[in-house]
Amino acid sequence: GNLLGEEQSGHIREIGVELYQQMLEDAVNELKELAGKGDGAADRGWSPQINTGAAVLIPEEYVPDLNVRLSLYRRLSDAEKSGDREALAAEMIDRFGPLPPEAGQLLKVVAIKGLCREANVAKIDVGPKGAVVTFRGDEFKNAMGLVGFVQKNQVAWKIRPDHKVVVKGEWETPEQRLAAAERVLSELAKLAA
């Protein structure tokens, strides 16, 4: 079809060409990976899931212009290094004022996603009583190191028969759960290194 022409309407007009192209590329990479024909490009495009119940967004009241907000989301998704995230946060504070809690939490989630990639974590669910970590492909780079770590910390850490790691904790608020996810993933990233 005519993706970029005058008669195009819908998604591209609403979200912009650049974000639409990235979404299209991600979908193609995902399909390649599912078909078992990935060439490494799909590996770069996978996105870990982080579920903590924390609000993670750039509020419309903070950045009213949709295109600017989408551009910031895009830049955040590419901010893999700590310095890049800090520079972007400083720029947002300079341009729009102090970060609202949701935007601060979004920055933390982006950092956590980086830790997930280092530790090969596909998903982390954190609730008030603990966390469950799912590894991508049920694989962990340093399995023996993980087993040793869990044995030393067996009061809080367990490995289930389905290869998921469970970490017990008391985290009542979404903010506490986000901080807990960062701590758990930091440990896993260190073990995977």
CB atoms within 10 A of CB 90: 11
Angstrom distances, CA of residue 149 to CA of 40, 67, 175: 30, 45, 26
Angstrom distances, CA of residue 147 to CA of 54, 58, 92, 152: 30, 39, 42, 9
Looking at the domain assignment, is residue 30 inside a domain? no
| Contacts of residue 17, Cβ cutoff 8 Å, sequence gap at least 6 | 4
* Separation CA 33–CA 53 (nearest Å): 29
| Contacts of residue 183, Cβ cutoff 8 Å, sequence gap at least 6 | none
* Separation CA 123–CA 109 (nearest Å): 12
- Residue pLDDT, tens place only, 170-185: 999 999 999 999 999 9
Looking at the domain assignment, is residue 117 inside a domain? yes
Mean pLDDT value of segment 85-92: 94
Looking at the domain assignment, is residue 83 inside a domain? yes
- Residue pLDDT, tens place only, 117-170: 999 999 999 999 999 999 999 999 999 999 999 999 999 999 999 999 999 999
**Residue 8 contacts residue 23 (beta carbons within 8 Å):** no
Looking at the domain assignment, is residue 87 inside a domain? yes
* Separation CA 61–CA 177 (nearest Å): 25
Pairing of strands 49-51, 157-159: unpaired
- Residue ranges making up the domain that contains 61: 51-192
Looking at the domain assignment, is residue 100 inside a domain? yes
pLDDT at 21: 61
How many domains are there within the chain?
A: 1
CATH classification at residue 61: 3.90.1150.50
Looking at the domain assignment, is residue 26 inside a domain? no
Looking at the domain assignment, is residue 33 inside a domain? no
Looking at the domain assignment, is residue 46 inside a domain? no
- Residue pLDDT, tens place only, 32-53: 666 554 444 445 567 899 999 8
* Separation CA 172–CA 128 (nearest Å): 5
Residue 2 clears pLDDT 70, i.e. is over it: no
| Contacts of residue 150, Cβ cutoff 8 Å, sequence gap at least 6 | 157, 158, 159, 165
* Separation CA 90–CA 87 (nearest Å): 5
